[in-house]
Structure 1
Amino acid sequence: MTHIVFLRGINVGGHKKIKMADLRERLLAIGFVNVQTYIQSGNIVLNTTKTKNEIAALIKKDLHEGFGFDVPVLVMAAEEIEAILKHNPFASEAISKNLYFALLHNAPEPENNGRLKAADYPNEAFEITDNCVYLNCKIGAGKAKLSNNVIEQKLMVTATTRNLRTLQKMVELAR
């Protein structure tokens, strides 16, 4: 079965550096097949019969052993990403380069949703679901106040954020 894997926080600002060629090699060595990566931010498509939890645990362990740091690992099916893209509440009103998706490792508690909604983000619109925070960063992500770290702090869940093009490409690679 084909899975899409997202690593959180690698190759950002010179921290947690991993070359994609090295990552592909390591993933092949621990038994995954048809491993593909997209850009340098830890986007992977791979095939395996293992469950999502098994995949995440194996990759997390291997990254720790091979590179010496812990990285949150999110595993999703292509169909899950397709559904996220299909249900994007900002698809018709936003410039595509301003659309971001904070993929959530777990569904946030309803009271935590309120914590995020209570804060003021004047140039950003967002919608929260069980597996994604849809973001329309109207003045660009670089100036956005609603960062991945803020989403994690307010919702109290691990998240990793990707842009529209990356999610579209991951679905394409998975097919």
Structure 2
Amino acid sequence: MRTHVGLMRGINVGGHNRLAMSDLREIVAGLGFSDVVTYIQSGNVVFSSVETDGTTLSTKLEQAIADRSSVRTGVVVLSRPRLRSVVADNPYPGETNPKFLHVVFHRDQISPATAETVTAAVRRARDRGSHDEATVIGRSLYLRTPDGLGRSVLAAELSRPPAATAIEAVNTMRNWATATRLMALLDD
């Protein structure tokens, strides 16, 4: 049974940071991890490891990827229990379209100041007529974008200062379909 999921930031997006999933599997297996499986081309890998510290695993993966490829990426590693909590804590269970629900996974706890920055971005988006929503829970930022992420006023607000500056910590976003599929892969 797999124990962790590694989420790479910005892999194979827009022709940048190209990394074949077969290479990623080799890199992860080369670290001595087992049961290695990748999911889609955006840098998702599930694996087993006796190491339990997510930060240590993240650092090892970042370094190994940098050493074996031209890709420099941030990595967020979640344990099975942590990802299970993220899925269970979904504050928008009524959203039936997984393309409209995203989770931004942070390596570290989201600070109260960053949470307030997100709240301010939501207010600015609402003032512009947006129906987008955001909720911070622990190390995760949930985004509900009922008009789609590409047209999201909130996503635009979060991508520019001061919000972008406040949430620059190592993080990476996945849609709800990917998050739940990764949970299923951990449980396989």
Partner of 1:82: 84
Following superposition, the deviation at residue 96 of structure 1 comes to 2.8
SS at match of 2:165: helix
2: CA distance between counterparts of 1:162 and 1:152?
Answer: 17
SS at match of 1:111: helix
**1:156/1:25 Cα in 2 relative to 1: closer, same or farther (>3 Å)?**
closer
2: CA distance between counterparts of 1:152 and 1:71?
Answer: 18
Partner of 2:110: 108
Following superposition, the deviation at residue 165 of structure 1 comes to 0.9
Structure 1 runs (4+) deviating above 3 angstroms are 147-152
Partner of 1:71: 73
Partner of 2:151: 143
Equivalent residues of 1:99, 1:136 under 8 A apart = yes
TM-score calculated relative to the size of structure 2: 0.85
The one-letter code of the counterpart of 2:131 is N
Match of 1:160 among 169, 172, 178: 172
Partner of 2:131: 123
Partner of 1:33: 34
SS at match of 2:147: coil
The one-letter code of the counterpart of 1:64 is A
* Structure 2 residue 19 is the aligned partner of structure 1 residue 11: no
Q: Taking every aligned residue pair, what percent have the same amino acid on both sides?
A: 26
The one-letter code of the counterpart of 1:138 is P
1: CA distance between counterparts of 2:179 and 2:120?
Answer: 28
Count residues with an aligned counterpart.
Answer: 175
SS at match of 1:102: strand
* Structure 2 residue 60 is the aligned partner of structure 1 residue 58: yes
Equivalent residues of 1:98, 1:136 under 8 A apart = yes
Moved more, 107-116 or 67-76: 107-116
The one-letter code of the counterpart of 1:48 is S
TM-score calculated relative to the size of structure 1: 0.91
The one-letter code of the counterpart of 1:50 is E
Following superposition, the deviation at residue 107 of structure 1 comes to 1.6
Q: Deviations over 1:80-134 (max 9, x none)?
A: 1121111111111453321111111112221222222112222311111221111
